[in-house]
A and B are shown apart, each in its own frame.
Chain A
């Protein structure tokens, strides 16, 4: 939707713990929700996405859940590793689907 809120802004976990990042969106017509990972000095890269016809999608240690009624979606990382340390961005299409509206980012730090 036009507004995408992302929390928390920073997240520190111990290696092996789980991490959860949450986003809310405002446009109920939004139907595509990607997550991007940006490592230090690198470009943002898509790690997982979900479309509104499913409630959950998993890819190894990462999963995304979608609650259309509440208009929020979450990224779940299990068994975190130091290489998961990065900034993560959620996104959703704007009204009219011309572009993606990105969240403000979550800096995840995984300590060994």
Chain B
């Protein structure tokens, strides 16, 4: 079934550890996004990608990095986790926009991160 997947769903980790949050989609979408969201609060865009080898920083300053080596895969990495990184991270994808068309974003189930 075409969908967007995130692993792990929950992660508790100590300060200073390196972590990678995985995101994969099987919908053939070119564009992918990472959002940071405290539960029920605003969605903050931290990274996005137009396609393979394309990555852009979002609106919220983040110490994380992303890569896009394969169309379906868009991992997010924190080199050194801190308590301030505690939040929910949502991955999303959409078809590549063409001119003035906007396309629906489909969200993954999210990863809840707790940094102790």
Is A99 in contact with B45, judged by CB distance below 8 angstroms?
yes
Residues from chain A with a CB closer than 8 A to the CB of B99 are: 97
Q: In the complex, which of the residues A40, A89, A99, A107 contacts B33, with contact meaning CB atoms closer than 8 Å?
A: A99
- The reply on A73 being an interface residue by CB < 8 A is no
* Chain A residue nearest in CB terms to B102: A32
A32 to B107, CA, bound (A): 18
Q: Which of A15-23, A41-49, A55-63 contacts B (4 or more CB under 8 A)?
A: A41-49
Is A102 in contact with B100, judged by CB distance below 8 angstroms?
no
In this complex, the interface size class of chain A, counting residues with CB under 8 Å from chain B, is 20 to 34
A4 to B77, CA, bound (A): 29
- The reply on B2 being an interface residue by CB < 8 A is no
Residues from chain B with a CB closer than 8 A to the CB of A89 are: 43
Is A43 in contact with B102, judged by CB distance below 8 angstroms?
no
Chain A proximity of B100: nearest CB distance (Å) = 5
Q: Which residues of chain B from 64 to 100 have any CB-CB distance to chain A below 8 Å in the complex?
A: 90, 97, 99-100
Is B109 in contact with A43, judged by CB distance below 8 angstroms?
yes
Identify the A interface with B (CB < 8 A).
Answer: 29, 31-32, 34, 38, 40-46, 49, 51, 87, 89, 93, 97-100, 102, 104-105, 107
Q: List 5 extra interface pairs beyond A29-B100, A102-B42, A105-B41, CB under 8 A.
A: A38-B40, A46-B105, A97-B100, A97-B102, A98-B48
